[in-house]
């Protein structure tokens, strides 16, 4: 379990601007993000021999290689399950480097998710796929349960009922994310904080989820460069050591509709990821200086706090109600880039980049002395996570 821990590091991060209309192809966004990440690491396209992305990404590894000028690839792979793939891409890159299959592996994700295909809207094609996922979706789509917000609303409603949480508890995640985004010039909502009243007054999307419980739809790209820990020490910027990297799928797992478990208001796949991360890294939740938790919908951020062990089952509402707990200087600074609610929704890859900045000491909302950061990927689906530490 622990053999991967500390063997590799993230040596470079790069991104395009985050917008609602990029005005260019998804391939160009991917290429720009990869080039930016390589420049950040002080490497060239000729140094790269591996590429990893999501199965949902429209940019084939060979196309990205051609566009960037990468001559040869000895490793390439794709991870399934949408946003759940984010940290898994880094895990796969780390495994390739640690086993000697490749020397420099870049994980990337790029899309025009606002100006192009919008993930937040009903897409009947997902229920018409000629595969097992299409069969699964065929049980929910004909009944109107056909958007990510609606899928999450079912679990959120149960959480409110079971633990006495309130919509305001969900709203506190949105408020702190937007507070951090307001300080981040790269965030779409730079200079635009919100109040809890703003959250409560925003319209319902799928009750109990308000508009401000739901992440953005964004255009943009992000790339992450993974190399050996030894090599990273000689590169341009301080490395973020991959001290833990885990993936997880829970019992009776579906994609966003795991409604047939004994406990509905839970994310056991994230609990599985958390147990692996703490085992691999030798660290505990209390050791974390910050947390970058996947925030496509606010209720799942509360559930992650519980699954990862920052608090007990049903205790997240009290955790987030503590004044300043999620801010810089608080108990657990959360999503210091603004999260997907405030910075951009790039399927969680921008969160990994922020964790690297925290470890480097270069975040716009820097946690003083941050050396250990946990990052998670998409929830409600098979998921993944990382623990990044200073060298």
How many CB atoms neighbour CB 162 within 10 A? 14
Candidates 108, 159, 300, 345; catalytic one: 345
Domain of residue 302: give its range: 8-116+219-390
- Is 56 inside a domain boundary? yes
The answer to whether the peptide bond before residue 182 is cis (omega within 30 degrees of 0) is no
pLDDT tens-digit readout, 279-300: 999 999 999 999 999 999 999 9
Using the predicted structure, report yes or no on whether residue 129 has a pLDDT greater than 90. Answer: no
Using the predicted structure, report yes or no on whether residue 33 has a pLDDT greater than 60. Answer: yes
Please compute the mean of the pLDDT values over residues 30-41 and round it to a whole number.
98
Looking at the structure of the chain, the number of domains it has is: 1
- Is 158 inside a domain boundary? no
The pLDDT assigned to 122 comes to 82
- Is 166 inside a domain boundary? no
The pLDDT assigned to 246 comes to 98
- Is 154 inside a domain boundary? no
pLDDT tens-digit readout, 331-370: 999 999 999 999 999 999 999 999 999 999 999 999 999 9
pLDDT tens-digit readout, 230-272: 999 999 999 999 999 999 999 999 999 999 999 999 999 999 9
The pLDDT assigned to 378 comes to 98
- Is 33 inside a domain boundary? yes
Per-residue confidence at 134, pLDDT binned at 50, 70, 90? confident
> Cα angle vertex 112, ends 339, 170, to 5°?
30
- Is 214 inside a domain boundary? no
Collapsing DSSP states into helix, strand and coil, what is residue 78? strand
d(CA 379, CA 366): 26
Spell out the residues 6+ positions from residue 99 whose beta carbon is closer than 8 angstroms to its own: none
141 classed as catalytic: no
Candidates 81, 108, 159, 294; catalytic one: 294
- Is 182 inside a domain boundary? no
User: What rounded mean pLDDT belongs to the chain?
Assistant: 96
Task: Kindly report the CATH number assigned to the domain that includes residue 80.
Answer: 3.40.47.10
75 classed as catalytic: no
DSSP for 340-353 reads HHHT--STTHHHHH
Please compute the mean of the pLDDT values over residues 188-215 and round it to a whole number.
98
- Is 223 inside a domain boundary? yes
Using the predicted structure, report yes or no on whether residue 2 has a pLDDT greater than 60. Answer: no
Q: Is 172 exposed, middle or buried (0-12, 13-18, 19+ CB in 10 A)?
A: buried
The pLDDT assigned to 1 comes to 41
The pLDDT assigned to 99 comes to 97
């Amino acid at each position: 379990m622990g053999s991967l821990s500390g063997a590799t590091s993230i040596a470079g991060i790069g991104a395009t601007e985050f917008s609602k209309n990029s005005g260019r192809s998804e391939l160009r966004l991917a290429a720009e993000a990869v080039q930016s990440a390589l420049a950040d690491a002080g490497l060239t396209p000729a140094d790269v021999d591996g590429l990893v992305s999501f199965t949902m990404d429209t940019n084939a590894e060979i196309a990205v290689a051609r566009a960037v000028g990468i001559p040869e690839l000895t490793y390439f792979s794709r991870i399934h399950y949408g946003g759940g793939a984010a940290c898994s891409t880094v895990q796969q890159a780390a495994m390739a480097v640690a086993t000697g299959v490749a020397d420099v592996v870049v994980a990337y994700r790029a899309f025009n998710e606002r100006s192009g295909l919008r993930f937040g809207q009903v897409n009947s094609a997902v229920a018409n796929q000629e595969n097992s996922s299409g069969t699964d979706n065929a049980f929910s789509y004909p009944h109107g349960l056909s958007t990510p917000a609606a899928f999450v609303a079912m679990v959120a409603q149960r959480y409110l009922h079971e633990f006495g949480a309130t919509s305001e508890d969900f709203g506190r995640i949105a408020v702190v994310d937007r507070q951090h985004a307001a300080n981040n010039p790269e965030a779409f909502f730079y200079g635009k904080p919100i109040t809890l009243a703003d959250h409560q007054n925003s319209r319902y999307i799928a009750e109990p989820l308000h508009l401000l419980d739901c992440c953005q739809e964004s255009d943009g790209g992000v790339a992450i460069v993974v190399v050996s820990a030894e090599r990273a020490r000689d590169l341009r910027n301080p490395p973020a050591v991959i001290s833990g990297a885990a993936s997880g799928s829970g019992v009776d797992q579906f994609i966003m509709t795991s409604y047939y478990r004994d406990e509905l208001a839970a994310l056991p796949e994230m609990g599985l990821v958390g147990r692996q991360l703490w085992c691999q890294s030798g660290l505990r939740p209390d050791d974390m200086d910050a947390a970058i938790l996947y925030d496509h919908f606010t209720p799942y951020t509360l559930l992650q706090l519980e699954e990862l062990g920052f608090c007990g089952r049903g205790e997240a509402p009290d955790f987030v109600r503590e004044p300043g707990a999620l801010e810089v200087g608080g108990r657990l600074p959360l999503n210091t880039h603004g999260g997907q609610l405030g910075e951009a929704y790039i399927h969680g890859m921008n969160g990994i980049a922020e964790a690297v900045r925290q470890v480097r000491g270069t975040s716009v909302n820097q946690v003083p002395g941050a050396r250990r950061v946990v990052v998670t990927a998409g929830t409600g689906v098979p998921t993944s996570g990382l623990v990044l530490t200073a060298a």
